[in-house]
Structure 1
Amino acid sequence: MESKKFSFNLENLGCANCAAKMEKKLKSLDGIDEVQINFVNKKLFLTFKESKQLEDIQPTIQNICSNIESEVVVSPILSNATSKTTTNSPIHNHDTEESCGCGEHHHDEHDSCGCNEHHHDEHNGHEGHNHDKNSSSHSHNHQHGGEHSKGDLLKKILTLLIGTVIGFIPIVFDIPSPFGIIILIAGYLILSYEILIESAKNISHGQIFDENFLMVIATLGAFYTKQYPEALVVMLLFQIGELLQDIAVDNSRKQLKSVMDLKPDYANLQTNSGVVTVDPEAVNIGDVIVVKPSERIPLDGEIIEGTSFVDTSSLTGESVPRSANIGDTVLSGSINGSGTLFVKVNSTYSNSTVAKVLDLVENASNRKSSTENFITKFAAIYTPIVVLLAILLAVFPPILTGTNDFSLWIYRACGFLVVSCPCALVISIPLGFFGGIGNASKHGILVKGSNYLEALNFVETAVFDKTGTLTQGVFEVTKVNVANEASLLNILPDDEKRTLQSASDQLLHVAGLVESYSNHPIAKSITKAANIPSASDQVSNYEEIAGHGIRATLSGQTVLAGSAKLLKKFNINFSEAPADTLGSIVYIALNDTFSGYLVISDQIKKDSKQGLEELRKLGIQTVMLTGDMKASAEIVGKELNLDTIYSELLPGDKVDKIEELLHKKGKNKNVIFTGDGMNDAPVLARADIGIAMGGVGSDAAIEAADIVIMTDEPSKIAQAIKIAKHTRKIVTENIILSLGIKFIVLFLVAFGMGSMWLAIFADVGVALIAIFNSIRALRYNL
């Protein structure tokens, strides 16, 4: 039975540890195949083994999520094309006031539209404009990174100030008991009100190891041991730390999203009644849109009027604007320069370049690295173990020592409870990897998952296709060598012979006719040189022989056009081109007689030599696979100083070579393959990491590979590896920092050398440091 996929927004999701618990619980549902929660983007992705209806599963999902984190609202991600406005506007005057289509206008992407729609994630892909019945229950009582409005933030700060002032009155003025204790408890209750309510809800849902509940138990333990000021201060510091942590995670998310701030807010659609501003999803193929100076191009299309320069840096990382003229294709997500462009749309928004790039980058966190998976499993056992140790610490030492001084050991056990939350790890690790992915995207490198970014740290061998990857892939016929003029006598009609002055022209024309049915770049270069714009009806019995060439019938004669292997396959006697010939050789035979050959040359990319040199500096071996002749391949290999060259390979041979390299690689090492994403799908799939180059505008490239280089620069591969290594360094720092400090504090608290204040630092303080450290992955400069 066909599987069914669902996507949901998890509004108010703030606790990374809770997200891991939700994921684990959802995986236990009947019929579930895959569950992924993206904490950074607050999204849930579910795949069921059999078809399910949304209305049947949403209540169950909502119940599971709210039982773990009560404020979470689950709303389905739907795709709708709704117009933002349909107001006529002259070309020179764009009204920036936008409508969500519900009658309420807003001037800024952060404003509420007043329709129960929540605009927390202004860059959340192309899900459409979604009004969900659950939206109205939105609450801002977030924990660990929920997004705060200014009103909520002020309310939170005011509550902390009031609770602090009241709680510190008996401490500052030394008010005696019992009145001093009553006032201090009043301050404590004001500070802890939300936590007490939240912990009560979670207990009712069976969430005993919730951080809120553990903090309440720890502070109540301090009250029990008559450490009243410490109980108050610990709750105050915890609340301040939580607030700062919320703000830090919120800002981190905004910074990460701003990297891919590509989504166009509107499109200027040309109609019979003028130019109207609409949602990009409302524009159809064939419509004409107007792109004004400095506007973001909303959809892919062809320029039919106007000239300008287009900034593609947000897609490719290239800082130099490209000229855009009539007939040129422009890509969504690019920024128009100083000229006004009229663009005929050639794809819907959902199939546009910007939509695919946004979807790829936003969902990259779904493919988790082995480090993230380890931390998730570790967090699941860390808290219960520390809580168990706290219980043992509170009970056994006073019994074993015979002192029966339970107060002392309960106090120390409370310190254990404070340190028991693994939030520093479960928040900072995914933020670190997403920061690395965001940094890569700034440089025109799209990494499809944290697992692939992590895998780049262990690359041993980099394998390259030649044509279009190391070379420009722009072919030209540079030589025509006729070996047998007599073989050309009866192949062409007399009128064509009269227009073709020489035997070389005739041989080129014959090759162009039979190659006119092929889409191969070399074939296209031959038809272009022969001035044959379309498939010729003079050709019949056309057959492509994979890895060899073409066999066809022309004027009743059998024509072979292809590599030396093709002529050998049909036992044709021929003279091979000189060994030092630079370029691809296409041999021609007519009726089993060798007629001559064409030389098609391709230029090495300017960036290739630098890119391969950077890889060698990183200690990576370089290998080239090509179907070209050995002599031609060796010339390229020598120019680029490649370590190993394999030439004259059929498509299947390339897969075999990758298999051979995979077999030879070291333990825990990876082999990457880089191709153009068009004809290398089997090799891209078989390598540990498949990298497609020239991804701008190429559907095949985006679909085929694990990593997409949006430009044609091989040097981007070394850049990707450097970003991956820097990201892993930050993630490792966070793990060592978080676990190291927690274990040290646990030791100090257990032996009476640390207080609950120190325990608070080991919890929220370390989490803050780890979060800020994770953002360095985004800001790393190559």
Structure 2
Amino acid sequence: MSKNKIFILELILAFVVSFSFYFNLFEKWFLLTLFFVSYFIIGRSVFKNAIKDFMQGRFMRESFLMAVATLGAIFLNEFIEALAVLIFYRIGIYFEDLAISRSKNSISNLLNIKPEYANLIKDEKTIQKLSLDKVFINDKILIKPYEKVPLDCVIYENESYFDTKALTGESMPRDAKPGDELLAGFINGDKAVKAKVIREYKHSLVARVLELISKAQEKKTPLENFVSKFSKFYTPIVVFLALFLTIIPTAIFGFSEFDLWLERSLSLLVVSCPCAFVIGVPLTYFAAIGKASKIGIMFKGSVFLDLLAKSKTVIFDKTGTLTKGEFALKKINNFSNLSDKELLKYLALAESNSKHPLALCIVKEFEKSGEKLDYSLIKQHKELRGNGLLCEIDDKEILVGKEELFKNVKNFKQDDTCNVFMAINNEFVASFVLDDSIKEDSKEGIDELNSMGIKTVLLSGDKEERVEKIANELGISSFKGACLPDEKLEFLQGYMKENGLTVFVGDGINDAPCLINADVGIAMGNIGSDIAIENSDIVLVDDKISKISTCIKLAQKNSSIVWQNVILALSVKFLALILAGFGFLSIALAIFADTGVTVLVVLNALRQLYSNEKEEKNLKTDEFKMHIKCCSSH
């Protein structure tokens, strides 16, 4: 039988016994027998925890208060109230456990993204199901419809679309074709595809995400520590107040008043239970972390929610953080009679033997036209001491390279914005701009931070003029370029000393010192290096800069809810303590008040977990919702 059903049966028994007592349905001895049976059944967990706490020297806790209150009620022959205390307390604990369980679901559901097996392609006719640790790089795997992608891989046959929400927070399915990379944890939503493994499971993004989740609650916030310390002092004070409330009036008015003041003391003990603080405040943080995890933001500890809520500055790395970290052809300045495509063909042929990122980018740009390079046109190929290339292509002398090579070239036009120049037969014909591409949502993310009054700073090892260009394009208020890793850290430490709480966002190995030393370090989870991710405090699983403002807003909302809960709990308890002290609050009403404020605090904490998200609003069609449901069920 499930715990829920057992709990319901226990409640029914307690209510039946209370009803029998109230209407005096049976003989006294039988009623007392029923009472003590139901009393120990429904109160066993309370007494078990009270004894356990007492043995560990922590007896001034809510279980101790409940035990004392019920035993005192029995001493006063208030059997119905003794059961009422346990009933209300157990109901409160039940709903608290239920709320905590539901808040954990958003994180535990992420654990379900871990694949369990891979379909290894032995040959075209044989598929073998293997555990992930037996599949290696370059192995070929089959990913069937509705299956999870088992390992990071690249498709080489067929195409499909994939549900990526559990891992990256993206609401819309992602189309994937041969050559596209898939991450472990994606769900195949259409056709079976074949793919080649590019990373072992332990190095996959999903493995890193799961490790972050498992450590998310290890660090406690200063406010949580405050609540724990508060309870240690608060509870003994209330216990002694309750003793004085019994002893002093009895000494003054005589022993005949003992029962009256004992009942008031017991009511005071019950209502003073600090469970609203002990449960409500940590739950608020847990709900915020759970909410963040649902949209692809991984917090390594709840302390960073508090820090983010107070942040006023975000410092960004450039390459791989605000930009894609990949070169792309931005512009061709054509000064010849040849077409742009012909110029790009000669440039691609000249660079075809190089593995330099710029050369690879140039070849890739030409191949986008669908035309293949004819390498037979290359007659000679000579490197010029790291400055460029001199080639004979299609009976033409092609000079390609840096500006320094072109001082004596006819009709040369200098241009500081260009980084590749080309001459044909010693006559200048074109210059090319190849640069890193800005991520699609970087501008949106920076604009949102600016609108929130958060100062943005760009810090990069790239050339000062290129850093300035990116900063101006994105609307970043200040910048510094040409920084080595130690210079980045020196700048960050100086900035933090002058300006206070600072967030740093980066992705590379050279960003790790800044990620460690910043008040809050945010790393890119997809493109980011392992060292950057390990040394950060928050990880953006899908690398979206726009989610930084989401982090800060979530942290600010969490801070607001925490203080709402603290003020609400203090106010209700302060009023209830006064009423209990003057005899206007019975034991049953006291436990009802304590349970009620705890439930209110819990519900308030969970508001942020169940509030609508922008990503969820993008689920516009019933068909797509059904598709997600279908994928999740497999």
Residue number in structure 1 paired with 2:579: 748
The answer on whether the counterparts of 2:348 and 2:359 sit within 8 Å (CA) in structure 1 is no
Residue number in structure 1 paired with 2:568: 737
The answer on whether the counterparts of 1:167 and 1:185 sit within 8 Å (CA) in structure 2 is no
Which runs of structure 2 are paired with 1:293-692 in the superposition (5 Å)? 293-400=145-252, 405-476=257-328, 525=361, 581=417, 585=419, 599-666=433-500, 670-692=501-523
Residue by residue over 1:505-531, the C-alpha shift from the partner in whole angstroms, topping out at 9 and shown as x without a partner, is 799969x98xx687xx55864797899
Residue by residue over 1:296-341, the C-alpha shift from the partner in whole angstroms, topping out at 9 and shown as x without a partner, is 1122223243321222222222233333233432110111121102
The answer on whether the counterparts of 1:727 and 1:777 sit within 8 Å (CA) in structure 2 is yes
Pairing 1:173–2:24 present? yes
In the superposition, relative to structure 1, how do residues 426 and 562 fare at CA in structure 2: closer, same or farther (>3 Å)? Answer: farther
- State the Cα distance separating 1:246 from its structure 2 match: 3.1
In the superposition, relative to structure 1, how do residues 287 and 392 fare at CA in structure 2: closer, same or farther (>3 Å)? Answer: farther
Residue by residue over 1:246-299, the C-alpha shift from the partner in whole angstroms, topping out at 9 and shown as x without a partner, is 333333333442355412244334457843444434544444332111211122
Q: Give the letter aligned to residue 292 of structure 1.
A: K
- State the Cα distance separating 1:539 from its structure 2 match: 7.9
The answer on whether the counterparts of 2:106 and 2:291 sit within 8 Å (CA) in structure 1 is no
Partner Cα distance (1:463, 1:697) in 2: 16
The answer on whether the counterparts of 2:525 and 2:533 sit within 8 Å (CA) in structure 1 is no
In the superposition, relative to structure 1, how do residues 229 and 506 fare at CA in structure 2: closer, same or farther (>3 Å)? Answer: closer
Q: Give the letter aligned to residue 616 of structure 1.
A: N
In the superposition, relative to structure 1, how do residues 292 and 163 fare at CA in structure 2: closer, same or farther (>3 Å)? Answer: same
Residue by residue over 1:52-99, the C-alpha shift from the partner in whole angstroms, topping out at 9 and shown as x without a partner, is xxxxxxxxxxxxxxxxxxxxxxxxxxxxxxxxxxxxxxxxxxxxxxxx
In the superposition, relative to structure 1, how do residues 524 and 395 fare at CA in structure 2: closer, same or farther (>3 Å)? Answer: farther
Partner Cα distance (1:201, 1:635) in 2: 65
Q: Give the letter aligned to residue 558 of structure 2.
A: T
Aligned length in residues: 575
The answer on whether the counterparts of 1:300 and 1:347 sit within 8 Å (CA) in structure 2 is yes
SS of the aligned residue for 1:727 comes to helix
Q: Give the letter aligned to residue 658 of structure 1.
A: L
- State the Cα distance separating 1:460 from its structure 2 match: 0.9
Q: Which has the bigger relative contact order, CA under 8 A and spacing at least 6?
A: 2
Residue number in structure 2 paired with 1:211: 62
Pairing 1:693–2:544 present? no
The answer on whether the counterparts of 1:418 and 1:763 sit within 8 Å (CA) in structure 2 is yes
Residue by residue over 1:554-574, the C-alpha shift from the partner in whole angstroms, topping out at 9 and shown as x without a partner, is 9xxxxxx9999xxxxxxxxxx
In the superposition, relative to structure 1, how do residues 428 and 279 fare at CA in structure 2: closer, same or farther (>3 Å)? Answer: farther
Q: Give the letter aligned to residue 234 of structure 2.
A: Y
The answer on whether the counterparts of 1:480 and 1:508 sit within 8 Å (CA) in structure 2 is no
Residue by residue over 1:15-64, the C-alpha shift from the partner in whole angstroms, topping out at 9 and shown as x without a partner, is xxxxxxxxxxxxxxxxxxxxxxxxxxxxxxxxxxxxxxxxxxxxxxxxxx
SS of the aligned residue for 2:90 comes to helix
The answer on whether the counterparts of 1:361 and 1:437 sit within 8 Å (CA) in structure 2 is no
- State the Cα distance separating 1:552 from its structure 2 match: 12
Q: Give the letter aligned to residue 624 of structure 1.
A: L
Residue number in structure 1 paired with 2:8: 157
The answer on whether the counterparts of 1:293 and 1:340 sit within 8 Å (CA) in structure 2 is yes
In the superposition, relative to structure 1, how do residues 268 and 426 fare at CA in structure 2: closer, same or farther (>3 Å)? Answer: farther
In the superposition, relative to structure 1, how do residues 269 and 428 fare at CA in structure 2: closer, same or farther (>3 Å)? Answer: farther
Q: Give the letter aligned to residue 222 of structure 1.
A: A
In the superposition, relative to structure 1, how do residues 722 and 197 fare at CA in structure 2: closer, same or farther (>3 Å)? Answer: closer
The answer on whether the counterparts of 1:256 and 1:434 sit within 8 Å (CA) in structure 2 is no
- State the Cα distance separating 1:644 from its structure 2 match: 1.4
Partner Cα distance (2:103, 2:219) in 1: 20
Q: Give the letter aligned to residue 221 of structure 2.
A: S
- State the Cα distance separating 1:363 from its structure 2 match: 1.6
Deviates more, 1:258-267 or 1:362-371: 258-267
Partner Cα distance (2:420, 2:590) in 1: 75
Percent of counterpart pairs with the same letter?
Answer: 39
- State the Cα distance separating 1:401 from its structure 2 match: 5.7
In the superposition, relative to structure 1, how do residues 412 and 634 fare at CA in structure 2: closer, same or farther (>3 Å)? Answer: same
Residue number in structure 1 paired with 2:589: 758
- State the Cα distance separating 1:184 from its structure 2 match: 4.3
Match of 1:246 among 86, 91, 97: 97
Partner Cα distance (1:198, 1:601) in 2: 64
In the superposition, relative to structure 1, how do residues 677 and 293 fare at CA in structure 2: closer, same or farther (>3 Å)? Answer: same
Pairing 1:228–2:75 present? no
Deviates more, 1:645-654 or 1:359-368: 645-654
Partner Cα distance (2:97, 2:348) in 1: 73
Partner Cα distance (1:739, 1:281) in 2: 53
- State the Cα distance separating 1:360 from its structure 2 match: 0.8
- State the Cα distance separating 1:457 from its structure 2 match: 0.6
Residue by residue over 1:196-216, the C-alpha shift from the partner in whole angstroms, topping out at 9 and shown as x without a partner, is 455455545555335334322
Partner Cα distance (1:685, 1:190) in 2: 52
Deviates more, 1:646-655 or 1:171-180: 171-180
Deviates more, 1:295-304 or 1:182-191: 182-191
Q: Give the letter aligned to residue 584 of structure 2.
A: M
In the superposition, relative to structure 1, how do residues 402 and 335 fare at CA in structure 2: closer, same or farther (>3 Å)? Answer: same
Partner Cα distance (2:458, 2:328) in 1: 22
The answer on whether the counterparts of 1:167 and 1:187 sit within 8 Å (CA) in structure 2 is no
SS of the aligned residue for 2:585 comes to coil
Partner Cα distance (1:633, 1:193) in 2: 67
Residue by residue over 1:462-494, the C-alpha shift from the partner in whole angstroms, topping out at 9 and shown as x without a partner, is 122233333343324667999xxxxxxxxxxxx
SS of the aligned residue for 1:295 comes to coil
Partner Cα distance (1:423, 1:315) in 2: 35
Partner Cα distance (2:493, 2:152) in 1: 38
Residue number in structure 1 paired with 2:617: none
In the superposition, relative to structure 1, how do residues 620 and 508 fare at CA in structure 2: closer, same or farther (>3 Å)? Answer: farther
In the superposition, relative to structure 1, how do residues 587 and 381 fare at CA in structure 2: closer, same or farther (>3 Å)? Answer: farther
Q: Give the letter aligned to residue 118 of structure 2.
A: A
In the superposition, relative to structure 1, how do residues 458 and 193 fare at CA in structure 2: closer, same or farther (>3 Å)? Answer: closer
SS of the aligned residue for 1:405 comes to helix
In the superposition, relative to structure 1, how do residues 652 and 239 fare at CA in structure 2: closer, same or farther (>3 Å)? Answer: closer
Q: Give the letter aligned to residue 460 of structure 1.
A: K
Residue number in structure 1 paired with 2:42: 191
SS of the aligned residue for 2:162 comes to strand
The answer on whether the counterparts of 2:132 and 2:201 sit within 8 Å (CA) in structure 1 is yes
Residue number in structure 1 paired with 2:119: 268
- State the Cα distance separating 1:370 from its structure 2 match: 2.0
Q: Give the letter aligned to residue 453 of structure 1.
A: L
Partner Cα distance (2:43, 2:256) in 1: 31
Partner Cα distance (2:48, 2:484) in 1: 68
Partner Cα distance (1:335, 1:716) in 2: 23
Partner Cα distance (2:442, 2:511) in 1: 19
Partner Cα distance (1:681, 1:470) in 2: 16
Partner Cα distance (1:732, 1:205) in 2: 31
Partner Cα distance (1:758, 1:223) in 2: 17
SS of the aligned residue for 2:217 comes to helix
Unaligned runs of 5+ in 1: 1-149, 483-500, 543-549, 555-560, 565-574, 589-595
Partner Cα distance (2:584, 2:46) in 1: 28
Residue number in structure 2 paired with 1:129: none
Pairing 1:771–2:602 present? yes
Q: Give the letter aligned to residue 174 of structure 2.
A: R
SS of the aligned residue for 2:583 comes to coil
Residue by residue over 1:658-692, the C-alpha shift from the partner in whole angstroms, topping out at 9 and shown as x without a partner, is 222212214xxx21122233542223233222222
Partner Cα distance (2:111, 2:35) in 1: 48
Partner Cα distance (2:161, 2:83) in 1: 62
The answer on whether the counterparts of 1:166 and 1:186 sit within 8 Å (CA) in structure 2 is no
Match of 2:88 among 224, 229, 237: 237
Partner Cα distance (2:316, 2:413) in 1: 27
Partner Cα distance (2:106, 2:296) in 1: 17
